[in-house]
């Protein structure tokens, strides 16, 4: 059984259209995690609700080196869980459990990496990239991050800043429905990935996080790029499946 802690909400802020980052104070806990993992948040005093409305799993957006605050990000919705969590006054305590998941960086830094994020699926990659930046490890990363438009792109400014601090990070922002966007607008598929990466991708390891339909589609596309099946890594957990 994973350890659990009572942690207060200390900050909320919008990071994109209808997308909120929530920070919890973990300074008085021993909660430790590896970049890319997720945690379970349980609401207090909700035993009268269906079990699936009492808790959610969330990938962690903060660096594992930050022992003061743990950050998650959520797409706002009208569900009981999210409206309750967003409506709590600051310093309300929730239950934090974990960490969980194996959606983590390889030990060897010489394996070239492809990160593919859709929407709020950027959160585990934020944790990974902050960790890479802070530890100065020599991972070579290409991040494809797809959204409809700039307004819905969470952490856009932070990612641009990380790209200036990580020499081997290539950032490909994709906006599929934004007339003002001058960058990539095509739907991400095998052909687009090959075009950006060039050459044979059999040495690459890929990580995909996002809405379930997008993750499933990208698995099919990635098989067509030459990446080995064992190097196609995805994370599936209840946080993406719940509203």
Tokens for 242, please give them: 């719940």
- In a domain? residue 63: yes
Q: Same structural domain for residues 157 and 195?
A: yes
CA distance readout (Å), 232 to 208, 217, 222: 8, 12, 7
pLDDT tens digit string along 47-56?
899 988 999 9
> What value, to the nearest 5°, has the Cα angle with vertex 102 and ends 241 and 171?
80
State the pLDDT at residue 236: 61
Q: Same structural domain for residues 125 and 149?
A: yes
State the pLDDT at residue 52: 86
Q: Same structural domain for residues 93 and 118?
A: no
Cross-strand pairs, 209: 117
CATH at 188 = 3.40.50.80
Q: Residue 1 pLDDT > 90, yes or no?
A: no
Number of domains into which the chain is organized: 2
Q: How far apart are CA 78 and CA 74, in angstroms?
A: 12
- In a domain? residue 138: yes
pLDDT tens digit string along 209-227?
998 989 999 999 999 999 9
Average of per-residue pLDDT values in the chain = 94
Q: Same structural domain for residues 96 and 117?
A: no
pLDDT tens digit string along 155-203?
999 999 999 999 999 999 999 999 999 999 999 999 999 999 987 899 9
Q: Same structural domain for residues 196 and 149?
A: yes
Q: Please state, for a pLDDT cut of 90, what percent of the chain lies above it.
A: 91
Q: Residue 240 pLDDT > 80, yes or no?
A: no
Q: Same structural domain for residues 124 and 229?
A: yes
Q: Same structural domain for residues 23 and 68?
A: yes
CA distance readout (Å), 198 to 174, 185, 204, 208: 18, 19, 12, 19
Q: Same structural domain for residues 234 and 133?
A: yes
Q: Same structural domain for residues 66 and 89?
A: yes
Parent domain of 77: 4-100
State the pLDDT at residue 242: 45
State the pLDDT at residue 238: 43
* CB-count exposure of residue 186 (10 Å: 0-12, 13-18, 19+): exposed
Q: In what order do the strands lie in the sheet with 141-147?
A: 169-175, 141-147, 113-118, 205-209, 232-234
- In a domain? residue 105: no
Short-list 140, 122, 111, CA closest to 230: 111
Residues 6+ apart with CB under 8 A from 179: none
3-state secondary structure of 155: coil
Q: Same structural domain for residues 72 and 23?
A: yes
Q: Span 121-131, mean pLDDT? A: 97
Q: Are 233 and 204 in contact (CB under 8 A)?
A: no
- In a domain? residue 107: no
- In a domain? residue 158: yes
Q: Same structural domain for residues 157 and 188?
A: yes
- In a domain? residue 106: no
pLDDT tens digit string along 60-98?
999 999 999 999 999 999 999 999 999 999 999 999 999
Cross-strand pairs, 22: 12, 72
Answer with the one of 100, 126, 141 that is the final residue of a domain.
100
Answer with the one of 67, 100, 133 that is the final residue of a domain.
100
């Amino acid at each position: 059984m994973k350890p659990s802690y009572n942690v207060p909400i200390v900050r909320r802020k919008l990071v994109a259209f209808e997308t909120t980052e929530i920070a919890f104070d973990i300074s008085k806990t021993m909660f430790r995690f590896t970049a890319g993992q997720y945690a379970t948040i349980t609401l207090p005093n909700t035993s009268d609700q269906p079990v699936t409305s009492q808790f959610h799993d969330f990938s962690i957006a903060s660096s594992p080196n930050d022992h003061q605050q743990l950050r998650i990000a959520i797409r706002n919705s009208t569900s009981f869980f999210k409206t309750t969590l967003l409506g709590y006054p600051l310093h309300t305590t929730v239950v934090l459990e974990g960490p969980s998941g194996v959606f983590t960086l390889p030990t060897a830094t010489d394996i070239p990496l492809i990160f593919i994020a859709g929407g709020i699926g950027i959160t585990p990659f934020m944790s990974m990239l902050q960790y890479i930046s802070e530890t100065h490890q020599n991972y070579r990363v290409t991040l494809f991050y797809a959204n409809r438009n700039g307004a819905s792109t969470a952490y856009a400014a932070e990612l641009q800043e990380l790209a200036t601090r990580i020499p081997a990070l290539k950032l490909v922002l994709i906006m599929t429905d934004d007339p003002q966007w001058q960058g990539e607008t095509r739907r991400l598929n095998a052909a687009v990935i090959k075009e950006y990466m060039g050459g044979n991708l059999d040495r690459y390891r890929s990580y995909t996080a996002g809405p379930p339909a997008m993750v499933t589609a990208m698995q099919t596309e990635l098989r067509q790029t030459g990446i080995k099946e064992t190097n196609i890594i995805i994370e599936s957990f209840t946080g993406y499946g719940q509203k």
